[in-house]
Structure 1
Amino acid sequence: MADWTLDGGNSDTFGTVLSDLIYGLGGNDTLRGSNAGTSTTDNDSLYGGDGNDSIDGGTGNDLITGGAGQDTLVGGEGSDTLSYAADTAGVTVTINTADRTATGGDAQGDSIAGSSFEALEGGSGNDSLTGQVLNDTIMGNGGDDTLLQSVQGNNSLDGGLGNDSLAGGAGNDSMLGGGGDDVIVDRATSGTARNLLSGGEGNDTLSAAPTPTVGGQNTLDGGDGNDSLTGGVSGQSNNNDSLSGGAGDDTLVDLAGFNNRLDGGADNDSLLGGIGTDTLTGGAGSDTLEAGTGVDSLVGDANDLISIANDSGGQTVNLTAFTTSEGDNLAGLFGGVIGGSGADSILGNTGANTLLGNAGNDRIDGDQGNDLVQGGAGIDTLIGGAGADTLSYADITADVTLSLGGGGTASGLSDSIAGGALCFEAALGGSGSDTMFGNTTADSLFGGAGNDLLADSGGGNWQEGGLGNDTLVVASGSNTLLGGLGNNLVAAGSGADSILGGGGQDSVQANDGDDRIRVNGASLGRMTLDGGAGNDTLDLGAGRWTTGTSGGFTTYSFGAGPDAVVWATGVEQVICFYPGTRIATPDGPRAVETLAIGDLVLTFEGGPAPVRWMGRQTVSTRFGEPLRVLPVRIRAGGLGAGLPEHDLLVSPDHAILVAGVLVQAGALVNGVTILREHAVPERFTYHHVELAAHALVLAEGVPAETFVDNVGRRAFDNWSEHEALYGHLPSIPEMARPRAKARRQVPARLLVGLDALTGFRAAG
């Protein structure tokens, strides 16, 4: 190879008999790839640079770059490439036609010889590149490019980076979108072609031959991204396309081809067959497969649905027998069916199916498995079959009245339940104000949007109001009731119910039974709670709570705002009524009531220790001596900086370690930083931690003693649990530390220090 670099003046340079690399730089240069009078074939690279250059590649496969200026460009013999790869502004170039245009950027004013270039290359701008008669290669490189092959030939188009538009012509074309969201179209109008359309990365749109006069076997590959692939519209028997979605949520449509293959690939795809005998394969992900008018084969699994949504005549789909009334073959244990607008008959299989009737008077039978059955508009017959099945009206916007034992009615629909009153175990409401009745056994009702009424007579039910102002009612049994968003009324029955408050202004009537009411301070609205009869528990969860009294109610306020408040009466037990005494564990602090036997807690002496038992003791302020039962509140910082980290509530006889002395909390009361908590329910519960030995755990950062049995365990509500687990154990020896049970026993040095903190807090 011979390398030439001109000095920037006006120069004539001819290449050697070797493959040459010639740079024109500035000036009006004349570059020739081959010496005059030679018959050698060499592959030259010719760069004109600035100026109005004349470049002729001669024989061989040459790369010609005109650069800036009005250049005259001739490829010569061989397979030559006209390159604008260095351009950043964007060029519009057409080769191999009588109208050989060249405008924009470095192409402005260029003159391109007739059919002398076989390849055209754009730059990093938004280029428009067009080939015509020959077998052309067109490369867009960077930018949002338009690549067009106008007439014929077996062409190669590569969009490169950017959001490109590629259009092939007659012949067997290969078109690659590359990076970006590309549009790739085969524009052939006649003949037979074998085109390859590949989207590459990005969300691409690929379309095969758009006219019915073109046959062929096209391959469309979406690549990565959420792609749309459309096969050819030809009705000719030789139009057999292959569509592959690749990764991403793809849509594959066979318009009118024969014997096409559609493969969704990974992720959640939608496949639609055409008029021939097509094969549709869902691949990985949750796919929807819809056969065309021919006899198709559908291949899927439990994540995939068969669709007949475009059919209006009524079809039969039998997932158990793997057949349809159109003669299609089903391969795989499909997960469900989407019906059409006609009177469809749908039968599920042994799996957990989703069966959607849509419009029309449908018959839907879930068969076995835990199925979701949704009739849609029309007069439908619905059967849950074996398993725990759900009756759904989630698609209905009108107000629905439904019963798990009888069906549902609304504007535009009237369904009946076949197979017995107990064939559905759950129901989903729609976006209207629905009235939903359960059956006599355990069931689940989900209201959805709208102001719903949910009612059950049996026990063991789950009710969830969802959006809107809902009413939840149960009569008996142990139920779970979730109000959801909105201003809800929850009326529990005679059993032990679990109730979760929502984010609105809820009214909760726990009624009889030992009920548990849970709230989340972060999402709480204003709740009015009447515990009713029974031993009820209010679980406030984590967070900073403040207690008070108002109008006969005990109030629990979350944070500093006025909106997150529980107004409670008739509640006997409050867990964590101020932010839950948090006990240090190897995994971080945990509310004391969440600890269980075997859990590890951190001890003050060092190292973790397993919980041997958790004792619960219910006390009453009506009958108990206040000084013995009312909790002692130690305010944050009341024992020194960061001690405790948050307000700490303990029983008055519970000892904490202060300057090496075990001081019972009642002996520390000073009325300012350490005081008795009067704003408590009439009945509430203390929680005690027992380890294998008397030790100190960290409660809100303060060393506090574990259980020591100087009183019998029979004082606890769950003493029989301890006896069943361990029988009679020897007494736990008390640790060898001095103990102060009354204020007079507290060393003076400690009281002076605590009084100093009291004065500081009082002054602050």
Structure 2
Amino acid sequence: MANINGTELPDTLTGTNSADRIRGFGKEDLLYGLGGNDSIYGGEDKDTMYGAAGADRLFGENGEDDLYGDDGSDFLYGGLDKDNLHGGNGADRLFGDAGEDSLYGEAGNDILTGGSSITDTDEGSKDFLDGGAGNDRLYVGFEDTGFGGAGDDSVFGGSTDDKIYGDDEKGEIFGGADSLVGGDGNDTIYGEGDSLAGGGNDTLDGGTGDDKLYGYAGSDVLRGGDGIDYLDGGDGNDILDGGTGSSTLIGGGGLETITGGTEGDFIDGGEDNDNLSGLGGNDTIYGDYGVSESLAGNDILNGGAGDDFLDGGAGVDRIIGGAGVDLLFGGEDSETQRPRHTHRRR
């Protein structure tokens, strides 16, 4: 193993085709690992380092550094200050540590975390994480923004208010069955970025806090968890669970199964044939709110316990009030069930 050390001045250091240890030490160094499994340390100030071929270990240390793993399964650690980490090809592990870091997994099945470890994600400042291609695992925290990218990704939020996207923000990368977990805090979670097409079958879990979950395209599972949540399934045959708290659950297009929580929820099944249940609390449930008759479905509405308002809209609906003083509305051929309390048929 060759030991290659810089000076206190700006240096350009190049390794060999064997396993090298390269240390920049001084200011604004340019460091190349070349072949072999190299260990590269930036030292002080702003450094740029390239692992090249091999399973390399890159440490930015002090200063605003740029780290490039290139080929191989690399380990990148940003260190102090604002760093940019690029995994390149291979199954890479990227850790931002302190500072507002930007992490890009790129190709391969990567692990990205804004903090110093997967159990310490809330360390430092607001980070940006992009898994890129491959089946990636992202651990975001401290109001980070995480993009899973293409592939079947798992994205986990921290204890603060995070923004989590299953795929590319602009909808330029589609597909992938992603698992997105908000954790604590008021999180915003997107199954497919801003796109309405080409989506995968995603699982979104808001956790605790007042969360916003958007499934977009694909047959998604959305769980609000604790808190006052907003869930929008988008297109596809989705399953929505409001959890505890007074939540808003929107089905969109597709055959939806929507379940409210223990408190009063607002539920709208949207287009097609939906199965909607309020459970506890005073719920407001629409089978086809704002949907034209040509797109309305034959819905099942079940208010559950509480004083509920149920409106099936157009279509042949089955409307069940459940316990409580309920108000029921259905179409001409709809069936309403709650004989001992208020029920009406349009």
Q: TM-score, structure 1 length as denominator?
A: 0.35
Which residue of 1 is the match for residue 316 of structure 2? none
Change (3 A) 1:244 1:69: closer
Which residue of 1 is the match for residue 68 of structure 2? 95
8 Å CA contact 1:223–1:246 kept in 2: the answer is: yes
Match of 2:307 among 353, 359, 365: 353
- Which has the higher relative contact order, 1 or 2, with Cα contacts under 8 A spaced 6 or more apart? 2
Which residue of 1 is the match for residue 240 of structure 2? 280
Deviation readout 1:252-301 (Å, 9 max, x if unpaired): 111111x2111222222222223222211223333332223111222344
1:50 aligns with 2:26: yes
Which residue of 2 is the match for residue 298 of structure 1? 258
- CA distance in 2 between counterparts of 1:332 and 1:182 reads 33
1:333 Cα deviation after fit: 2.6
Question: Tell me, what secondary structure is at the counterpart of 1:256?
Answer: coil
**Higher helix residue share:** 1
Which residue of 2 is the match for residue 328 of structure 1? 274
8 Å CA contact 1:337–1:346 kept in 2: the answer is: no
Q: TM-score, structure 2 length as denominator?
A: 0.70
Question: Tell me, what secondary structure is at the counterpart of 2:180?
Answer: strand
- CA distance in 2 between counterparts of 1:70 and 1:147 reads 17
- CA distance in 2 between counterparts of 1:369 and 1:70 reads 67
1:198 aligns with 2:156: yes
Question: Tell me, what secondary structure is at the counterpart of 1:252?
Answer: strand
8 Å CA contact 2:46–2:64 kept in 1: the answer is: no
- CA distance in 2 between counterparts of 1:418 and 1:275 reads 31
Deviation readout 1:597-619 (Å, 9 max, x if unpaired): xxxxxxxxxxxxxxxxxxxxxxx
1:52 Cα deviation after fit: 7.7
1:187-226 mapped onto 2 (5 Å cutoff): 187-188=149-150, 193-210=151-168, 211=171, 214-226=174-186
Match of 1:118, as an amino acid? Answer: D
Which residue of 2 is the match for residue 269 of structure 1? 229
1:156-167 mapped onto 2 (5 Å cutoff): 156-160=111-115, 161=123, 162-167=125-130
8 Å CA contact 2:231–2:249 kept in 1: the answer is: yes
1:245 Cα deviation after fit: 0.9
- Aligned-residue CA RMSD in angstroms? 4.5
Which residue of 1 is the match for residue 82 of structure 2? 126
1:12-411 mapped onto 2 (5 Å cutoff): 14-15=2-3, 46-50=22-26, 61-68=37-44, 73=49, 75=51, 78-84=54-60, 86-87=61-62, 89-91=63-65, 93=66, 95=68, 115=71, 118-149=74-105, 152-160=107-115, 161=123, 162-178=125-141, 180-188=142-150, 193-210=151-168, 211=171, 214-232=174-192, 233=195, 235-236=197-198, 239-257=200-218, 259-308=219-268, 326-330=272-276, 333-335=279-281, 336-339=283-286, 340-341=289-290, 349=303, 351-355=305-309, 368-370=323-325
- CA distance in 2 between counterparts of 1:184 and 1:70 reads 25
- CA distance in 2 between counterparts of 1:353 and 1:214 reads 42
1:29 Cα deviation after fit: 8.5
Match of 2:135, as an amino acid? Answer: N
Query: How many residues get paired?
Result: 312
- CA distance in 2 between counterparts of 1:72 and 1:166 reads 19
- CA distance in 1 between counterparts of 2:47 and 2:302 reads 71
Deviation readout 1:370-420 (Å, 9 max, x if unpaired): 56x799xxxxxxxx9967x9xxxxxxxxxxxxxxxxxxxxxxxxxxx989x
Change (3 A) 1:61 1:265: farther
Match of 1:355, as an amino acid? Answer: F
8 Å CA contact 2:177–2:202 kept in 1: the answer is: yes
Q: Structure 1 regions of 5+ residues with no counterpart?
A: 1-12, 16-21, 97-113, 312-324, 358-363, 376-383, 390-416, 420-764
8 Å CA contact 1:75–1:117 kept in 2: the answer is: no
Question: Tell me, what secondary structure is at the counterpart of 2:284?
Answer: strand
Higher alpha-carbon Rg: 1
Match of 1:246, as an amino acid? Answer: G
1:59 Cα deviation after fit: 6.7
8 Å CA contact 1:215–1:234 kept in 2: the answer is: no
8 Å CA contact 2:222–2:239 kept in 1: the answer is: yes
8 Å CA contact 2:14–2:32 kept in 1: the answer is: yes
- CA distance in 1 between counterparts of 2:197 and 2:236 reads 9
8 Å CA contact 2:30–2:49 kept in 1: the answer is: yes
- CA distance in 1 between counterparts of 2:250 and 2:48 reads 56
8 Å CA contact 1:50–1:69 kept in 2: the answer is: yes
Q: Judge which range, 122-131 or 339-348, deviates more.
A: 339-348
Percent identity over the alignment is: 35
